[in-house]
Chain A
Amino acid sequence: QKEVEQNSGPLSVPEGAIASLNCTYSDRVSQSFFWYRQYSGKSPELIMSIYSNGDKEDGRFTAQLNKASQYVSLLIRDSQPSDSATYLCAVNPDSSYKLIFGSGTRLLVRP
């Protein structure tokens, strides 16, 4: 059974701080990794994709991938109250069409 694991949180950070969200996955040969943001009652919204080991930066967001450790993370710099949401890690297993989602980490940014 291919799994994606996330700490459910909530992760509470003050406004302006760095929020660090983590995810581990079980399928060693997975190739594609994604972070989605989901506000309550809304659909997943794509934030970042990452396909190779290392860091990928986009504005205030940095995704980090370590395939040897089967670990993906998302850093949010200068966190804003509007970043308060559930962050979903999703993995596209090798030779599969689907995404497998983690249960999400709830982030709360305190003003």
Chain B
Amino acid sequence: EPEVTQTPSHQVTQMGQEVILRCVPISNHLYFYWYRQILGQKVEFLVSFYNNEISEKSEIFDDQFSVERPDGSNFTLKIRSTKLEDSAMYFCASKTDINTEAFFGQGTRLTVV
């Protein structure tokens, strides 16, 4: 069964360092997302990406964040200068159409020390 895959599963980084989280969405999906979940809190929307551009972003998604689909299969989230409060699980998701079901990857646990 097709699935969204994310790498790495766990990343530890020092405050101020840049990190890139990687995702391979399901192959026939057109809408791509990043969500995050701080420990014990809700799943929060960060950004959506469609037709090679950002379609919507949240207040969390500031200038420190960027997304890219460099090669037609990978979808990446870059955090330029990590802060302690960026520590969270980051989930990639994809879907076929705007109102259809979103399928989530297994997540990347980011720990900023």
Give the B-binding residues of A (Cβ under 8 A).
31-32, 34, 36, 42-46, 49, 51, 88, 90, 92, 96-104
Contacts and interface: CB of A to CB of B under 8 A. Distances in A.
Interface stretch (B64-72, B78-86, B95-103): B95-103
A97 B50 contact: yes
Interface residues of B, number: 25
B42 A97 contact: no
B75 interface: no
A110 B50 CA distance: 44
Interface of B: 31, 33, 35, 41-45, 48, 50, 55-56, 58, 89, 91, 98-107
* The 8 residue pairs across chains A and B that have the minimum distance between CB atoms: A97-B48, A98-B45, A101-B43, A43-B104, A97-B56, A32-B99, A43-B107, A103-B42
A101 B102 CA distance: 12
Contacts of A102: 42
A34 B101 contact: yes
A97 B45 CA distance: 10
B99 A98 contact: no
A46 B106 contact: no
Contacts of B41: 103
B102 A43 contact: no
17 contacts: A31-B99, A32-B100, A42-B106, A43-B91, A43-B105, A44-B91, A45-B104, A49-B100, A88-B43, A96-B56, A97-B50, A97-B55, A97-B56, A98-B33, A99-B45, A100-B45, A104-B42
